[in-house]
Amino acid sequence: MNVLLLSTGYSFVADGNFGLPHLVSLASYAEANTDCAVHIVDLDYERHLPQPNLAQIYDASFDVIGISCYSSFEYLKAFYLAVELRKHRPDARMVVGGYHPSACPEDFTGPDSPFDHVVIGEGERPLERIIDEVQRGARALPRVLGPEGVADLDSLPPMDWSKLSRYLGISRKVGNQVTMSLSRGCPFRCAFCMEAAKGSRSWRAFSPARAEEELRRLDAALPLAGRTLFLTDPLFGLKPAWRGEMLERMGRLDLGVRKFWALSRADVLNDDDLRAFNDANFGLGFGLESGDVGMLEIIHKGGSGGGSPADYLERFERLAAVAGELDFPWGANVIVGHPGETEESLVRSAQWLAALVENTPRLTGFISIDPYRYYPGSPIHQNIEEYERRYGTVVYRKRWWNYSEPAFTATWLDPSRSLDYRTCAQRSRALFAPIAETVGKRFSYGGAAADYFRRSVDSQRRLFHPVQRLHQLRDHALWRRLCGDPTADVRQDTEAASLLAELRVGTVSRIERAFGPLAEPLRAALLAEPRERYLPEEQVHRAARDEAIPLSDSGKSTISAMHAYALNYSLLDLQPGDWLLELGTGTGYGAALAARLVGDDGFVRTVEIDEALRAIA
């Protein structure tokens, strides 16, 4: 029997990660416990091959097809890929698993669903039962299986990384960071987190000896020298005894890894733990979530071991200071706009973070600022009515994974009665962008893989770039219009206009550096004329770039690059009172610039033969 395990695209692949340990574990278990051969195909990895073969997923030999829907962002891909597969393989047993199926199995069990089974939580044992049933020619299993967590991870067979042999040769092309997991589960219940959807909250790990074996096995198949290794465990090293022995073993490993990266919590570590992580060549990511005590209480963060949120923040300050002494790299994730957030809590969080990054004697960490995302299966999702009643939270698209622009719709909510979506986004940018800049200036980690961590610092600064905000404003206007507001248009948005005016200053300066100084009236016209008003709305984020921008899908008509207008009008030496005839109006940007130059006493006539463009102009 042949089994296909199919990844529609791993969420972390865009970050330069290579691995699929969850599918390798499933494949290894299935082959060890059933009479089958398992094949793994990843559609993202496939595109990196010299000769990709996307058609292989339709091979008639596959009797069981398991699709990984890792997160809610992959829901539509997973569902409609299965629809296509069902057309080609009507008799194959189709299975789906992952975080989203665990949180919302009903999304895969409707009358039009192509799936035979949905797996909640860990998939090894449910997949074994499905394969066994198909081999027996039976069909008695329920449609929804699990959760069936593996209590003893050492009972799992060795991970067979040859299951990724098709992609091992291009792994560095995909990314120089390898992913692996050594434990499962998290006993904490952070309000925003999907982890609880998998059913088992107990923390379980390979024994340290077995974990070391698995790391060596991974290195034999996929040499780790010169790479970073991201241990994707929800909470690495929760138990002190395991953590201590594991770090000792990893400190002795000679795999040539540039740096291990794992996720932990400030309230489960002490100074000696941080030193042990440092000796083992680790960096750590922390879910800090907020610098405001009140928000930490709402998020359910910081109460571990009888401590308080205030103790949690104090502990983090101490860890940041010790990290600086050790030259130890760290990252801290902060959520803005979490249900219950107010403008006052945003300000308090920003003030605490600003003090942290300014006052830590040696800053070797970075702050990652993320908008809150409404994840299904999280405690908030399960109790949204309570958040609506208590805080006035409004989630505008509760099933955002069904729609386009999920990066926007997942975040589109009013956190509280006193803080709506738009104000939250504006205030967050104003409050946290300076913190990202301070981190960029003060970040001083100089150890192994320093360039890796510097890229994270710089990427956070780029998140506050005006173009990123323009993408958000464009999507917000689109969805307001889809929801019945015909006046919503990002081209008429005052915040967008201000951001684009800011960007035009830089563009005009670059034009002058390249082509020489412009006459002041021409320079003023280029700065003042809102080029975005002459573009399709989906192109607004490009409005201040010095490039030609298409006005239609055909690309036959464009708005010329800004330097082209600057050079042409410089050569024409347009003056107040001049008359100008322009052939080829486009949508009118060039004529509008010329009108500013010739003034009220001049005259501009422009001719356009394309009726669609003429109507826009």
| Catalytic residue selected from 11, 308, 560, 570 | 560
What is the distance between the alpha carbons of residues 99 and 104, in angstroms, rounded to a whole number? 9
- Alpha-carbon dihedral angle through residues 202, 180, 216, 452, given to the nearest 10 degrees: -130
Q: Are 293 and 353 in contact (CB under 8 A)?
A: no
Question: How far is the C-alpha of 566 from the C-alpha of 56, rounded, in Å?
Answer: 53
Determine the Cα–Cα distance for residues 454 and 161; give it in Å rounded to an integer: 31
Ordered DSSP codes for 146-165: -----S-GGGSPPP-GGGGH
560 is catalytic: yes
CB 37 within 8 A of CB 31: yes
Q: How far apart are CA 306 and CA 520, in angstroms?
A: 66
Cα–Cα distance, 48 to 64 (Å, whole number)? 26
Give the whole-angstrom CA distance, residue 543 versus residue 566: 15
Task: Give dist(CA 576, CA 598) in Å, integer.
Answer: 4
CB atoms near residue 51 (< 10 Å)? 5
Burial annotation 421-441 (CB, 10 A radius, 16+ → b, else e): beebbebbbebbbebbebbee
Q: Collapsing DSSP states into helix, strand and coil, what is residue 18? A: strand
Tokens of 233: 């465990």
Q: What angle do CA 581, 583, 589 make, to 5 degrees?
A: 85
Do 163 and 346 contact (CB within 8 A), yes or no?
A: no
Please state at what angle helix 124-136 crosses helix 21-33, rounded to 10 degrees. Answer: 40
- Rounded distance between C-alpha atoms, residue 166 and residue 553, angstroms: 37
Residue 277: name the closest of 244, 317, 255 by CA. Answer: 244
Rounded to the nearest 10°, the torsion over CA 544, 545, 551, 553 is -130
Query: Residue 147, preceding bond cis, omega within 30 degrees?
Result: yes
Dihedral sign (CA 122, 124, 128, 131): positive
Q: Is 57 helix (H, G, I), strand (E, B) or coil?
A: helix
CB atoms within 10 A of CB 277: 26
- Per the CB < 8 A criterion, the answer to whether 355 and 391 are in contact is no
Residue 206's SS3 state is coil
Residues known to be catalytic:
560
